[in-house]
């Protein structure tokens, strides 16, 4: 419903700049994302969790086009939004800003939703020594991961209020939404009412989080605020080491 916005200033023109990736050995699936999600849910004997690490366009299209399958979604865990502050505007985070209409469809859907916004993802940091440790794991996946992190580190915006001796790491935004599915106890989440500003003014794309329960509305989103960073780092290292067994 809006002009497309991409983040090549952060992830490069390919979206994966920094990684030396081989040419694909299999063709892309001919199935559209919407149909693929529908097929997976329809064929599954148990509920399925969706993890959304970009704008929520595909999830919203699915919810609108297949309402009969909505009850087969266990949860939607997404990276996006913020209770306090933004990175595209003073109040809007990139993923929500790109497609706020889709985000509103998702949070209003009645499906259990967990939000991993800037309040927690800016705390999920890896530092130079962590990137070196990932690189030293030595398998191809870990090497690609290390190179992606090195590139991302060059484009990460450093907080202008940081003190001279402050060290800011690489913000691991997207992995938070997946880590929560693996180990929810790693995070402190608070059930709150969340709405999305779909206007075109200065607050467009904001996730309006009723932190103090001023409106008294239904708590439709579990909003993450804190992360156990040592456990998160350990999970990242273990995930990369896993590929030693299949390299």
Residues 11, 173, 193, 200: which is the catalytic one?
A: 173
CB count within 10 Å of CB 85 equals 14
CA distance from start to end of the chain:
43
CB count within 10 Å of CB 235 equals 17
List all residues 6 or more positions away from 61 whose beta carbon is below 8 Å from its beta carbon.
33, 34, 102
Tokens of 183: 């180990």
Bridge partner residues of 187 (DSSP): 227
Residue ranges of alpha helices (H) inside the chain are: 8-11, 33-43, 57-65, 94-98, 100-107, 118-121, 128-137, 140-155, 173-182, 229-242
CB 203 within 8 A of CB 197: yes
Distance from chain centroid for Cα 215:
27
Asked about 173 being catalytic, the answer comes back as yes
CB count within 10 Å of CB 67 equals 10
Q: Which residues are catalytic?
A: 173
């Amino acid at each position: 419903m809006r002009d497309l916005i991409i983040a090549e200033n952060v992830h490069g023109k390919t979206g994966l700049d920094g990684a030396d990736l081989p040419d694909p050995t299999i063709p892309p699936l001919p199935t559209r994302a919407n149909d693929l999600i529908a097929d997976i849910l329809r064929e599954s004997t148990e509920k399925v969790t969706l993890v959304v690490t970009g704008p929520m366009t595909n999830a919203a299209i699915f919810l609108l086009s297949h309402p009969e399958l909505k009850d087969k979604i266990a949860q939607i865990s997404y990276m996006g939004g913020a209770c306090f502050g933004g990175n595209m505007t003073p109040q809007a985070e990139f993923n929500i800003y790109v497609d706020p209409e889709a985000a509103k469809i998702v949070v209003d859907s009645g499906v259990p939703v967990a939000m991993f916004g800037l309040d927690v993802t800016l705390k999920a940091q890896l530092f130079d020594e962590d990137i070196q440790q990932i690189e030293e794991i030595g398998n191809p996946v870990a090497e690609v991961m290390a190179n992606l992190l090195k590139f991302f580190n060059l484009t990460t915006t450093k907080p202008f209020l940081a003190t001279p001796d402050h060290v800011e790491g690489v913000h691991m935004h997207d992995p938070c939404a997946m880590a929560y599915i693996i180990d929810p106890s790693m995070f402190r989440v608070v059930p709150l009412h969340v709405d999305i500003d779909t206007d075109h003014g200065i607050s467009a794309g904001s996730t309006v989080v009723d932190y103090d329960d001023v409106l008294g509305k239904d708590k439709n989103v579990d909003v993450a605020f804190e992360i156990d960073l040592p456990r998160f780092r350990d999970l990242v290292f273990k995930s990369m080491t896993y590929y030693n067994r299949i390299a």
